[in-house]
Each structure stands twice: as C-alpha cells, then as structure tokens.
Amino acid sequence: MANSIARKAFLLTVVLVGPPLVAICFYVDSLTVRLASLAFGILSVVIVLLLARSLSWRINSLTGFVDRLLDLSVAPPRLQTSDDELGILARSLLRVAPQIEELFNRLSTELTRREAILASMSEAVLAVDSRLNVTFCNNAFAKAVGSDGAFEGVALLKVVREPVLFQILRRVVETGETLRDRLQFSAPDIRSYDLYAAPLVSTTSRGAIAILHDVTPTERLERVKRDFIANVSHEIRTPLATICGYAETLLEGGLEDQHNRRRFVEIIQANGVRLNNIAADLLILSELESGRSGPQPGPISVSDVLGSAIRAIEPAANLTGVQIHTGPIPDLQLLGYGIRLEQAVLNLLANAVKFNKPNGEVHVEVGDGSGDQIEIRISDTGVGIPHEDLTRIFERFYRVDKARSRQVGGTGLGLSIVKHAIEQMNGAVAVESQLGKGSTFIVTLPRYHRQ
C-alpha cells in the first residue's frame, strides 16, 4: 500500500514537474553551446591575429634586410630561420648577402677608380644619351668650353654651341659608327682638338662618348717651325743674293771698274758679316733653347756687367749722337751666368741705340723689384713699338719695322736671345712702349745672397 502510494506520488511528480524541468535543461544546454561557440570564435580571432602579426613581423624583417643590403653603412637586421617557406627564403638571403656586398664593393671601387681617372685626364671627355643630353663630362671638358657648372642632364647645345661636335655625336648615336675629326672651341680662347667619338650601347639605351685631345700646342709648334724655316730662308737668301750678285758683277768686268770695285767688295763683306751674325745668333739661341747644362751658375756683379756692356756700346752710340745715362748702380749680386747676362744687356742697349732718334737718350737704372728681386730698366727715347706688336717682339726674326731693322743691321734674333738668356737664370723680361715716345725694357732677376 505504501509502495503504491509512493509510485503514484512519483508519477504525479513526473507529470507535474517533468515538462518544466526538461525545458529548463534544454535552455541550459543551448546557452552552454552558444557560450562555447562564442569563446571558440574569440579564441580563433586572437590566434589569427597573433599569426598575422608574427607573419607581418617576419615579412618586414625580410624587407628591411633586403633594403639594407646595399647600404653598407648600416648593419642589416638579424633574420630568424625556421623550417617553413619564409625560413627557407631567409636562409637564401643570408647566403646571398655576402656575395652581394662583395659585388657592390667591387663595383663601387671600380666606379670610383674610373671617375678619378676620367676626372684627372688632360683630355676632355664627354658622354651623351640618345637625346644628346650630357650624362658625364670631366673637368677638362668644362675648362675647354669655358665653364665650371654642372652639365649632367643638360642638352649638349646649351653646353657648347659647336655644330660639328653636335652633328658628329648625333651621327654616332644614330648609326653606331666610330668617327674622328678636328674641331675648334672659341671659348675662352680659340683652341683646336682632335675628336674621337664612339657609341655607348646598353640593353636599355643608346648614347655616345667623345674624347677631345688638345692639339693647340702642337699646331702652334708646327706654325712656329714653318715660320722659322721661312724666316731663316728669307733672312739668308737676301744677303746671299746680294753677295752672288756683286761677285758676278766683279767677275764680269767690275774688277776693272776702279771707281766702284771697292764699294762692291765692301757690300759683299757687309753681307758676309750679316750672314755670320745670323749664324752666330742662331747657334746662341739653339744653345739657350736646348737646356744643355753648362758651367755652374755663380754670383754676378750687376755693376760690372752693366759697365762692360755700356763701354762696348758707347762707340756705336757716339756715331749717332745718342747719350747713355746711368743712375746710381748699387753693388748688388745675382746668381747666374755673367756672359749670358752681359749678352742680354748688350742686345737691349744695342736696340735702344739703333732704334733711337738722332741725339736721343738711353737711361739705365737698377733697383729693387717685387719680393727678393733685382730690376734693371733700360729706356730710350726712340720710335717706340706699336701696341699690337708688343706680344710678338720676342719671337725669332720678328721685326716691327723690317726695312729699318735691316738697314741698321739687325738679325731679328736679339730679343729672342734676351728672353731665353734671362729665363735661363730664372728671371723675366717685359716691355712698356708707346709709339713715337720710346720703349722701356724691364729685366727682373733673383738676388744672390752670400751664405
């Protein structure tokens, strides 16, 4: 009975309490699932973020390592290696990095060496691209065009207005030929250049390089040689023709002409002396220009040299009435060659007498020059020298007044001898002159000090 009542009570409890209890359990289970799903989702997001950050850090490390491979001043960051794909890439970069650094150093050294060579070359070097814009030029080229600006990227025609250079480089770029030519630049002064132009071809662009060798000194030397040969031939031919002409006259009956035969012989003798003077001056000039070592230089008394030269020229001065005046000559000494200095002073005094006016004057003065120098000034009251001839009077066989020079017996070599003799003693000679008012020659030589 009791058991029956208990079963009934249990069944009643199940009937009454069961549905709500089941509902409650279902709700609890559903909430748990939702909370678990939410927690799993959050955990997944956190894991993904951590993985993404780690991956981004590794990629940034690889990027920074690559960016700093060519910057040798900064040490590249350390890389972490692993067994995944990024780790394999990191190991490859670590293996290649020393090779890249060595290659970069080698290229930098080679580039520096080439730039130093090109910059120090005496030849002008120019490189242009396919549009004839300047990509490189050295200091010699900048000096040749008379500028010191930066030309990289500038159009060639804006750098130098030389049509021949522009046309040659354009042809080299278009055809790939190698060309040679000669051209002239007029700035800052006229100079001649031998041009060698060759193509510059790379995988991405075309261009040209030009090397310009300055041949101005060579051309000037060739011109001097031609002028010298022509002048020597002319100077020698005139007295030779005179000698031959008068000798022929004497042989064809002039010996019986008692009134003129002596004059004919005197003319022959005078022209023979002139030839001898030309030959002697040429030998002196050749010796001075050769630079051959002679006797050792020694102390020279300026007063002794000037006194000897003045005494030698006084007879010629007296014949033309020219007065030679000397100021106070201090007892100074210089180091050099006494015979060369006397020869130079004698030539200057001879010109001052020859090209002076009748009853003119010659003044000789000695004083201190700039620095530790001795200055000798020889002035005259003669015909003077035109301004346009002042830069050329020291050239061999150059004459301002050719007719007068030959009339007074000049060879055209005296001032050349003066210039070389003075320069051989580490001195210099200059001239100041006004046409019709006379000339002043200034010789500057270093003073000698007794030890």
DSSP helix/strand/coil, 280: helix
Q: What is the mean pLDDT of residues 158-176?
A: 87
The pLDDT value recorded for residue 196 is 92
For 49-53, which contacts have Cβ atoms below 8 Å and span 24 or more sequence positions? none
Residues 194-239 have pLDDT tens digits of 999 999 877 577 889 999 988 888 888 787 777 677 767 766 777 7
Sign of CA dihedral 290, 295, 296, 298: negative
Tell me what the mean pLDDT of segment 129-149 comes to.
82
pTM value > 0.75:
no
> For residue 297, what is the DSSP state?
P
pLDDT of 100 > 60? The answer is yes
- In the chain, the percentage of residues whose pLDDT exceeds 90 is 2
- For all residues of the chain together, what is the average pLDDT? 77
- State pLDDT tens for residues 327-383: 887 878 887 777 788 888 888 888 888 888 888 889 988 887 777 788 889 999 888
Average pLDDT over residues 305-327: 85
Write down all domains in the chain, each with its CATH number in brackets.
1-117 (no CATH), 121-214 (3.30.450.20), 221-292 (1.10.287.130), 296-451 (3.30.565.10)
Kindly report the number of other CB atoms within 10 A of residue 370's CB atom: 7
- Which residues, including other chains, have CB under 8 Å from residue 440's CB and lie 6 or more apart? 377, 378, 379, 380, 431, 432, 433
Element (H, E) at 323: strand 323-326
Q: How far apart are CA 21 and CA 13, in angstroms?
A: 11
In the three-class reduction of DSSP (H, G, I as helix; E, B as strand; rest coil), residue 411 is classed as: coil
pLDDT above 60: residue 4: no
pLDDT of residue 123: 85
Q: Please report which confidence band the pLDDT of residue 20 belongs to, taking 50, 70 and 90 as the band edges.
A: low
* Model confidence at 310: pLDDT above 50: yes
Say if residue 451's pLDDT is above 70. no
Choose from 20-34, 47-61, 115-129, 396-410 the range with maximum mean pLDDT: 115-129
Cβ atoms of residues 192 and 223 within 8 Å: no
Residue range 19-40: average pLDDT?
A: 63
pLDDT surpasses 50 at 2:
no
**What single letter denotes the amino acid at residue 426?**
N
User: pLDDT exceeding 70 applies to what percent of the chain?
Assistant: 77
Higher pLDDT, 54 or 267: 267
Full DSSP string of 175-236: H---EEEEEEE-SSS-EEEEEEEEEEE-SS-EEEEEEEEE-HHHHHHHHHHHHHHHHHHHHH
* Diameter over CA atoms, the chain: 204
Per-residue confidence (pLDDT) for residue 399, from 0 to 100: 67
Say if residue 97's pLDDT is above 80: no
- The more confident residue out of 171 and 242 is 171
Q: Are 430 and 370 in contact (CB under 8 A)?
A: no
Side-chain-side CA neighbours of residue 346 (13 Å): 19
Side-chain-side CA neighbours of 353 within 13 Å: the count stands at: 26
The number of CA neighbours under 13 Å toward the Cβ of 49 is 6
Q: Is the pLDDT of residue 165 over 80?
A: yes
Burial class (CB in 10 A: 0-12, 13-18, 19+), 438: buried
